[in-house]
Amino acid sequence: MSLRRAILSRVSSSSISFLGESRSWARSERSEVEEIEGGGRDGVLAAAGEGEEEEEAGRWARMLPELIAEIVRRVEAGGERWPLRKDVVSCACVCRRWREVTRGAVRPPLETGKITFPSSLKEPGPADTPIQCYIKRNKKNSTFYLYLGLSQTFTDKGKFLLAARRFRHGALTEYIISLDADDLSQGSNAYVGKLRSDFLGTNFTIYDSQPPYGGAKASSSRASRRFASKQISPQVPAGNFEIGQISYKFNLLKSRGPRRMHCPLQCPTALDSTEENPLKSKAHSAGASVVLRNKAPRWHEHLQCWCLNFHGRVTVASVKNFQLVATTDAGIGDGEMVLLQFGKVGDDMFTMDYRQPLSAFQAFAICLTSFGTKFACE
């Protein structure tokens, strides 16, 4: 026990440097193997390098689970926000044992309000305080980038979360959403879902690349399939799963105010962090069906216009700005609590704040519908 206490006492001051060394070790191992494979020594040295790598990984896996949990706990305590939080992700990349312990130690965004792993992007946000993000638009290539805000200002670089690109297929429009800003295709491993609009651009459907719950069936329409063939790999679903719709109501009387939105959604549930495969935990619940609508603005006597209170998060007036609340029969809040708000702060900069029951992926998809002209809706 005295040896164990001595090790734990050293971890407190050296956990970050330890992770840096482990990453350096991984990089050096990979470069070493590549150099050997390129040397043309009949693969003997390459096999030896792989054996050493497996042996080294085994050493990390043989550490006591209690010791690993203590290391992860202290690393997470020192990485409350990004970019320091990347060290928590590094812990999960050491080996399978470390990944299991790390997933068990890191709580979901619903409880902590923190986004750590890619799977966190499809989990509901916190109920009390919204997660603040912003979207950057590139008009030249019709690409949109979602970032996690690291401060209250709009000048920080932010933590990249998702990217989306707009594609036109005849009269229809699709937004492909990906974890990789440089790989925006449905066949990519980074593909997480898409958004599809109708001819007028007033009705949209959100598709998830993974089943939202156990037993969910992929959409049968040809347009919703990821690949032309029926199946490429058992691990990669060939279809997409519909999880929500967004419709903009016509404004034939041309009344002033934000666009009127109606959003029936299949909202996610918090994943069980003890599950090795996050998809397994979805089999226990199909989530909640929620209908959102845009919050009605109030007449401002001094400004003589319709206004919404964005609490300083929106600085530029735009028809794209909106706030979504749950309908009164949804049982979420009092019909006045804002679950998602989106607004303009610059020429190509927009804020996006969301909370339970929405996930970052769903919120991003809903905000993407606001770009573009809506005929007879403005």
In 3D space, the residue among 101, 140, 148, 171 whose CA is nearest the CA of residue 353 turns out to be: 148
The dihedral sign for the CA sequence 366, 368, 371, 375: negative
**Residues 72 and 215 placed together within one structural domain of the fold:** no
Residue 362 belongs to some domain of the structure: yes
Structure tokens at 20: 């840096």
> pTM to 2 decimals?
0.77
Among residues 106, 140, 174, the one where a domain terminates is 106
CA–CA distance, 137 with 371 (Å, rounded to integer): 10
Who has greater pLDDT, 2 or 305?
305
Total Cβ atoms within 10 A of residue 68: 21
pLDDT score of 72 more than 50: yes
Angle, vertex CA 210, rays to CA 207 and CA 212, nearest 5: 80
- Which CATH number do you get for residue 244? 3.20.90.10
The three-state DSSP-derived secondary structure of 28-96 is HHHHHHHHHHHCCCCCHHHHHHHHHHHHHHHHHHCCCHHHHHHHHHHHHHCCCCCCCCHHHHHHHCCCH
**Residues 349 and 254 placed together within one structural domain of the fold:** yes
Residue 373 belongs to some domain of the structure: no
**Residues 150 and 43 placed together within one structural domain of the fold:** no
How many Å from the N-terminal Cα to the C-terminal Cα in the chain?
A: 70
Q: Residue 155: what pLDDT?
A: 65
CA–CA distance, 267 with 287 (Å, rounded to integer): 6
CA–CA distance, 373 with 375 (Å, rounded to integer): 6
In 3D space, the residue among 321, 329, 333, 327 whose CA is nearest the CA of residue 378 turns out to be: 321
Residue 50 contacts residue 33 (beta carbons within 8 Å): yes
In 3D space, the residue among 291, 297, 262 whose CA is nearest the CA of residue 377 turns out to be: 262
DSSP 297: P
The boundaries of the domain holding residue 162 are 122-368
Residue pLDDT, tens place only, 266-279:
888 765 544 544 44
**Residues 88 and 137 placed together within one structural domain of the fold:** no
**Residues 84 and 164 placed together within one structural domain of the fold:** no
Residue type for position 261: M
**Residues 303 and 278 placed together within one structural domain of the fold:** yes
Residue 322 contacts residue 259 (beta carbons within 8 Å): yes
For residues 232-238, average pLDDT? 50
Sequential DSSP letters for 188-240? STTEEEEEEE-SSS-EEEEEESS-SSTT-----SGGG-SSSSS-SBTTB-SS-
What residue has token string 């006591």?
Answer: 64
Residue pLDDT, tens place only, 321-348:
899 999 877 667 667 889 999 999 999 9
Among residues 71, 106, 141, the one where a domain terminates is 106
**Residues 72 and 144 placed together within one structural domain of the fold:** no
Residue pLDDT, tens place only, 120-134:
999 999 988 999 999
In 3D space, the residue among 159, 151, 11 whose CA is nearest the CA of residue 74 turns out to be: 11
pLDDT score of 7 more than 60: no
Average per-residue pLDDT in the chain? Answer: 76
pLDDT score of 252 more than 80: no
pLDDT score of 16 more than 60: no
> Where does residue 153 rank: exposed (0-12), middle (13-18), buried (19+ CB within 10 A)?
exposed
Residue 126 contacts residue 112 (beta carbons within 8 Å): yes
**Residues 253 and 357 placed together within one structural domain of the fold:** yes
Residue 197 belongs to some domain of the structure: yes
Residue 51 belongs to some domain of the structure: yes
Helix (H, G, I), strand (E, B) or coil at 288: strand
Residue 211 contacts residue 282 (beta carbons within 8 Å): yes
Residue 202 contacts residue 377 (beta carbons within 8 Å): yes
**Residues 294 and 188 placed together within one structural domain of the fold:** yes
Structure tokens at 140: 């030249």
**Residues 78 and 182 placed together within one structural domain of the fold:** no
In the chain, the number of structural domains is: 2
**Residues 223 and 286 placed together within one structural domain of the fold:** yes
Cβ partners under 8 Å of residue 226, min gap 6: 186, 187, 191, 209, 236, 237, 238, 239, 240
Name the β-bridge partners of 124.
359
For residues 165-191, average pLDDT? 90
Residue 349 belongs to some domain of the structure: yes
Residue 115 belongs to some domain of the structure: no
Residue 376 belongs to some domain of the structure: no
Residue 157 belongs to some domain of the structure: yes
**Residues 69 and 193 placed together within one structural domain of the fold:** no
Residue pLDDT, tens place only, 134-149:
999 999 999 999 999 8
